[in-house]
Amino acid sequence: MTSKSDTIATTSNEKLVIAIDAMGGDHGPRVTVPGVAQALKREAGTHNLHFLLHGDEAQIRPELERHPELKAVATIVHTDQSIAMDEKPAQAIRRKGTSLFNAITSVKTKEARAIVSAGNTGALMAMSRMILKMVAEDLERPAIACGWPNSGGMGTVLDVGANVTSDAHQLIEFAIMGAAFHRAVRGVQNPKIGILNVGSEDVKGHEEVREAHRLLREGGFGLNYYGFVEGDDLFSGKVDVVVTDGFTGNIALKTAEGAARFIKSLLRDAFKSSPFAMFGALLASSALKVMAKRVDPGASNGGPLLGLKGIVIKSHGGAEAWAFSNAVSVAVSLAASSYEDDIKTALAHLSEAMPPVPDPASATGKHKVVAPEAGLAVEGTKVS
């Protein structure tokens, strides 16, 4: 693949190559291949797309034969090795030649612009850091961002699980990366940023969020900073990007997903409670389908690992084809944008304004990066 530079957005005539870990997730090629086919149909005419399907050809080929349009723009990169969903990251990173390892490596070698995987989160995080490295020397660790439905459409929340704790410097890094991601994927040129807190007043919250708030107020760093937001603002649309640490963000994400499922079950039971209720449900069926799709986690599937030298998108492990296709579309949007350049420029401004903050665990060379889906802690610097 040819490109003007490593990070510049591709033109409509350039081939935009996306690597797929076809074996990842709970369902493997049965979901990943039709999911890519749906994404291709959605993006038709927008980009000159090509896909590298990494995995076992014997499993991928039959699925690919069912999608002739995808078959015409896809290449199977065969390997009979894959990473299990419960495999320990420390073990996974030592196994070269797996579908995940090969897919990430194709981004490193510039064969592909992005990689999408529904596989083991801990392995994806550790392997991506080891192979791709961080986009800037003073950027300490990646963050996982996710789309978040709100009254204004779709927002972005990060970190939702990669980092248990984050200091003020890291929260500002998250704000920079979240703004670049939202601009690339949602098309908002100057997204409004908020820091999640227990109150909107300057004196509220722990020291790190107050310090990040102060620095963003005083420095700006080229961001459209709004200020503190509270939990109910996640859905209000008051800001486009909500920044928090991974511990809080992951709890908020799982709570929201659980609440959505609970409300859907309540509505289902209510509409079955009487003949009149069932008739009302029939009359409102089209509106209810729109609402259900809006709150379905699959609609916002596709969480990028922000801050790496390359685009890595994490899909839900249990995603069906429609949800996986949304993760592929996120990869396409980022790969076709100037997202990586935006981050580098903004981080350069941050470095000029602030001295690097040393890692408090630098004496041991370790810090903890938590991947909640894997339920594991990865010793970050040992895999970089």
The mean pLDDT value for 58-71 works out to 96
CA angle 139, 305, 324 (to 5 degrees): 170
DSSP 277-300: HHHHHHHTHHHHHHHHHHH-GGGG
Q: How far is CA 170 from the centre of its chain?
A: 17
Residue 372 has pLDDT above 50, yes or no: no
Q: How far is CA 247 from the centre of its chain?
A: 16
pLDDT, residue 46, reads 80
SS3 114: strand
Q: For 112-144, what is each residue's pLDDT tens digit?
A: 999 999 999 889 988 999 999 987 665 667 888
> Crossing angle for the helix pair 275-283 and 285-295, nearest 10 degrees?
70
Cα–Cα distances in Å, from 330 out to 101, 130, 312, 365?
Answer: 21, 23, 10, 34
Dist. CA 254–CA 252, nearest whole Å = 6
Question: Residue 382: which pLDDT band, with cuts at 50, 70 and 90?
Answer: very low
Instruction: Assign domain 1-137+307-338 to its CATH superfamily.
Output: Isopropylmalate Dehydrogenase (3.40.718.10)
Pinpoint the alpha helices (H) of 16-164.
Answer: 29-43, 57-65, 68-71, 89-92, 99-108, 121-132
Instruction: Assign domain 140-297 to its CATH superfamily.
Output: Isopropylmalate Dehydrogenase (3.40.718.10)
CB atoms within 10 A of CB 130: 17
How many residues are given for the chain? Answer: 384
> Which single residue is written with the structure tokens 């392995």?
123
- Between 56 and 274, name the one with better pLDDT: 56
Range in 46-55, 162-171, 305-314 the model is least confident about? 162-171
Give me the torsion for CA of 163, 131, 119, 71, rounded to 10°: 140
pLDDT, residue 374, reads 38
User: Could you state, in order of their start, the residue ranges of all structural domains in the chain?
Assistant: 1-137+307-338, 140-297
Dist. CA 153–CA 186, nearest whole Å = 9
DSSP 229-281: E-GGGGTT-S-SEEE--HHHHHHHHHHHHHHHHHHHHHHHHHHTSSHHHHHHH
CA angle 363, 369, 370 (to 5 degrees): 145
The mean pLDDT value for 87-102 works out to 92
Q: How far is CA 37 from the centre of its chain?
A: 20
pLDDT, residue 165, reads 83
Of 69, 59, 48, 49, which is closest to residue 21 (Cα–Cα)? 59
The answer to whether the Cα torsion of 124, 126, 132, 135 is positive or negative is positive
Of 354, 353, 377, which is closest to residue 367 (Cα–Cα)? 377
The mean pLDDT value for 227-241 works out to 92
- Between 349 and 193, name the one with better pLDDT: 193
SS3 212: helix
SS3 2: coil
pLDDT, residue 370, reads 44
The mean pLDDT value for 225-240 works out to 92
